[in-house]
Structure 1
Amino acid sequence: MCETTFGRTNDGVAARPAFDLYRAVWRWHFYAGLLVLPFMISLAITGGLYLFKDTLDPLLQPDLKQVEVVAGAKPVPVSQMITAALEAVPGTTVKVTDPETPDASAEITVATADRGKRAVYVDPYSGKVLGDLPDRGTIMWTIRTLHSLKYFGPYARALIEIAGGWSILLVGTGIYLWWPRGRTRGQAGGVVTLRGTPKSRMFWRDLHAVTGLFVGGFIVFLAMTGMPWSGVWGGKVNEWANGTNFGYPSGVRVDVPMSDARLAETGPTTWSLEQAELPLSRAPDGGERKPIGVDRAIAIVEGLGLHRGYALALPTTPTGVYSASVYPDDLSEQRVVHLDQYSGKPLVDMSYGDYGPAGKALEWGINTHMGQEYGLANKLILAAACLAIVVLAVSAAVMWWKRRPKGSLGVPPLPEDRRVFRGLIAILAIGGIVFPLVGLSLIIMLALDFAGTRLTRKMRAA
């Protein structure tokens, strides 16, 4: 969606090969923008908001999320909170989420017979129920669901991979179009500065190009670190990173009997542990063995030193386990512990330090992508990048609108020498092999471009 003017050789002959290549790149930059920009606007807005979830959540729903801190008061036993939650919302308790801060409420997740899972919020100091919502029904969870495209059905995760791959193509072709060919030293107009006024197309071209220059690296980073959530690529890389170690990173001790249940079924977890299997509690043999109970399980978990804000999934079968997990901003504090429900013995105890190199790299990327790894600076930098992405998309739309011929889509013209497409398509094909869904969308786009070009020629001939 960028334009430039190519120079001529000394004898006045146009630099045709370079010009043809430029037109080919420009055409595919246009197509990439056509596919990706609507997604980029949505992802930038929802992602930018979700960066500040820890701040916005209690502000948006203070009646459920915030409690008054009583000086010297200690939290009531968790079993008392569960009793109060079940009186308000009858069902089966499946999870308890510890308050991360002293002024935060506790969350009791209850599976009901007719309303699905409900999150019941309880004042940890008085045991009073503050209210309930559908599980993951807060405003910030809604924004996260929009960001991940889960609202649009089970196949929507595939769009993440397609959008991510095409956004990388968008950046690569955009840098080629931006490159200051034939400029003399000191000519910064349209390269790092803006020319003209908002009434002119030149202004929007420069705004688009300069913004893209500064935000391009962030787009590539966000696209790559968002890929683990994609349908095909993310699932295959997860299998590769964790091998056949019951879904756990290589090196983690899992020499205990495992069930078919997955950690992701108990609640939100890290990407590396989505497919991790839950161990089995040793079923009672002979004499009756009573479960240790939730209060004892909480005491063991806290004795092991888990970061505040952990979630404890409760066993729902005779062989189930207590699964404690916490994923704070600091990666080194991530931890998952499974306890035998009868003895309280830790069956699996793992942290970020136990991940393999691939798992560590991917989790670092995801944590940084979510604005967690480097505190407020991480959030502010990514928020600025999200704002710049919106500017990039809006400037592209305005520039296209001002440039397009009346009654036409305004697709950049084909190069006269079609051979220049060969190298470009070869590069695109490599990306398509690495990201299969991107490759499939590339083939479809090539077919549509070819069919559209032939149809246009026939119409002109007629």
Structure 2
Amino acid sequence: MHKIFSPIRRLHFYAAFFITPLLLTLSLTGIGYLFYTNVENNIYQDEFFSDSHTKGHQSLDDAIQEIRDVYKGYEIQKISIMDEPYNNRVTIGNEDGESRYIFLDEHNQRVANQNAKFTYSNVLRETHSSLMVGGSFVNYLVELAACWTIFMIISGVYLTFKSNVLKKTKKKTSFLFNRRIHAIIGLIIAIPIFIIVLTGLPWSAFMGKQINQFAEEHPKLGYSALKATPPESEDNELPWATRNKEKPSSKKDPHADHHGATSSVIGAEGQQSLESIISQAENAKVKKPFSIVYPADDKGVFTVSKSSNTGVTGLDVAPKEETTAYFDQYSGKRLGQVDYEDYGIVGKWFSFGIPLHEGHLFGTANKIINLIVCLTFIAGIIFGFLTWMKRKNASSFSAPPQLKGSIPYGLIAFLIVLGIIMPLFGASLIVVGIVEYFIWKKQKKISQK
């Protein structure tokens, strides 16, 4: 038992020590994001609910054209058709990657606009996923922290039951107290934290893509058209299971355009109005709230979707209400529709898992449960740190000692399996192994002197 216990204890310590700052950041930003709808409903009351001072009514298509005229250099990315009492929202973006939200009242008059980057929800989301720095390296770093958290959960449960930490003892010291509380907290939140981490992996930079690829290659387990990726495309309000689904093409009526082909994707000759597409969507039983994405080219289609993980206040729906419908941009005919029932097991799992992770799957209760789990997790980190401080010698790092002798094959097999399941974890283990080898060599030289 000692041969397995010692190296796992050492790995558990190093994992906790090096990723604790990141885990605290993820936990605190996660707590803030849990309540983003409550916060935004209060701080953005004018944008979300107020009316414009401009009198009169105009069509939604006229409002879109007005936005294009006012915001030169920006393209219309999507239109969010909200349910009462929310104002509709138009998302625009430019070639520099800047996005803005334009809010329209019930008369389709402009109420206000926001810089999308600095809204409460987007700041918390960006900090949570990429520490507001962005870039592949940081995304991989966050994912690596999630992978090591899974290892810490498994190793922590093992260490708790293989040690005497839960046994009552007459000896009373702050070290034993802190270690006992750390272990008990770990056992209590092991499963909830595991679920939270697992349901966050679809958004990850590396494993997210692997999950999507697995779903595509195994239709019975996933979904035959499932080509999801992390939310980086302009279709980031589509349901997870259809975000990269190959869209059907419109069949252009040759009599609709008497002046030749046009490259415009908004207001093209013969193109259906937004009001018409909204009407067609409602006829297809796609009720508010939903998002509309314009055709990408003259063969593209209008994409209308309801999603359980939009990240937009007032736009999320229950997983079973998810749907994505495609409409011919010239005739308005519905060309296809993918509902929740059409998803495979992977699509269905993550349609529930992502809102569970974000805290809005089953209302306020979900937020409260996630809040308690996060706060308890932070408490576990604190007691783990206090345990180390009570054991730490002033002149040393006081890490658990290295194993003297060969590492058991069972432990090696366990780490290999985890490394295969979580490739970033596997790659980091190789680095750890190299560092441990040099530490061992150094200590061996010292002992021989």
Coarse TM-score class (shorter-chain normalised): 0.7 to 0.9
* Alignment counterpart, residue 154 of structure 2, candidates 164, 172, 176: 172
Matched, 1:78 2:60: yes
Structure 1: segments with no counterpart, 5+ residues: 1-17, 253-261
Which residue type is aligned with residue 313 of structure 1? V
The 3-state SS of whatever aligns with 2:295 is coil
1:25-174 counterparts in 2 under 5 A? Answer: 25-67=8-50, 77-86=59-68, 88-90=70-72, 91-100=74-83, 102-112=84-94, 116-122=98-104, 124-135=105-116, 137-149=118-130, 151-174=133-156
Counterpart residue number, 2:273: 293
Q: Please tell me whether the aligned partners of residues 165 and 438 of structure 1 are also in contact (alpha carbons under 8 angstroms).
A: yes
CA distance in 2, matches of 1:43, 1:229: 14
C-alpha displacement at 1:48, in angstroms?
Answer: 1.9
Mapped contact 1:251–1:355 kept (Cα < 8 A):
no
Unpaired runs of 5+ residues, structure 2, are 258-268, 308-315
Residue of 181, 206, 211 corresponding to 1:207: 181
Q: Secondary structure at the match of 2:361?
A: coil
TM alignment of 1:350-389, pairs within 5 A:
350-389=338-377
Shift in alpha-carbon separation, 1:456–1:152, aligned structure 2, 3 A = farther
Secondary structure at 2:213's aligned position in 1? helix
For residues 302 and 167 of structure 1, the distance between their equivalents in structure 2, rounded to whole angstroms, comes to 44
Conservation of the 8 A alpha-carbon contact between 1:84 and 1:129: no
Determine the C-alpha separation between the residues in 1 that align with 2:360 and 2:245.
23
Give the C-alpha shift of residue 94 in structure 1.
Answer: 3.1
Please tell me whether the aligned partners of residues 68 and 103 of structure 1 are also in contact (alpha carbons under 8 angstroms).
no
Are 1:430 and 2:406 matched, yes or no?
no
Asked if structure 2 preserves the Cα contact closer than 8 Å seen for 1:26 and 1:412, the reply is: yes
Partner Cα distance (2:289, 2:256) in 1 = 37
Q: Does 1:282 align with 2:251?
A: yes
CA contact (8 A) 1:225 1:366 kept: yes
Q: Partner of 1:15 in structure 2?
A: none
In the other structure, the counterpart of 1:336 is 324
Q: Which amino acid aligns with 2:251?
A: R
Stretch moving more, 273-282 or 81-90: 81-90
Give the paired residue count: 420
Counterpart position of 1:445: 432
Over 6 Å off, 4+ runs? none
Deviations 1:388-441 (A, max 9, x none): 11112222222222221113222101233x235432222111111112111111
CA gap of 1:304–1:264, structure 2 versus 1, over 3 A, is: farther
Per-residue deviation, 1:213: 1.2
Partner AA of 1:129 in structure 2:
R
Are the counterparts in 2 of residues 51 and 371 from structure 1 also a CA contact under 8 Å? Answer: yes
Match of 2:237 among 268, 289, 295: 268
Tell me the distance in 1 between the aligned counterparts of 2:295 and 2:163.
66
Stretch of structure 1 that moved more, 346-355 or 44-53 = 44-53
- Distance in 1 between residues matched to 2:135 and 2:232, nearest whole Å: 22
The TM-score with structure 1 as length reference comes to 0.81
Residue of structure 2 in register with 1:312 after alignment: 292
8 Å contact kept, 1:314–1:323: yes
CA 1:45–1:413: 2 relative to 1, 3 Å: same
**3-state SS of paired residue (2:360):** coil
Q: Do the aligned partners of residues 320 and 196 (structure 1) sit closer, same or farther apart at CA in structure 2, a change above 3 Å counting?
A: farther
Relative distance call for 1:43 and 1:249 in structure 2 (3 A) is same
Amino acid across the alignment from 1:273: T
Q: Tell me which amino acid in the other structure corresponds to 1:305.
A: K
Contact 1:40–1:389 under 8 Å retained in 2: no
Per the alignment, in what secondary structure is the counterpart of residue 336 of structure 1?
strand
- Structure 1 residues 267 and 135: alpha-carbon distance in aligned structure 2, compared to 1, 3 A threshold: farther
Q: TM (normalized to structure 2)?
A: 0.84
- Deviation of residue 349 (structure 1)? 0.7
Question: How far is 1:88 from its partner?
Answer: 4.3
Give me the identity figure in percent. 25
Deviates more, 1:397-406 or 1:439-448: 397-406
C-alpha distance in 1 between matches for 2:172 and 2:51: 56
Structure 1 residue 264: Cα displacement = 3.8
In structure 1, what is the Cα distance between the partners aligned to 2:373 and 2:439?
A: 35
Q: CA 1:243–1:405 in structure 2 vs 1: closer, same or farther (change >3 Å)? A: same
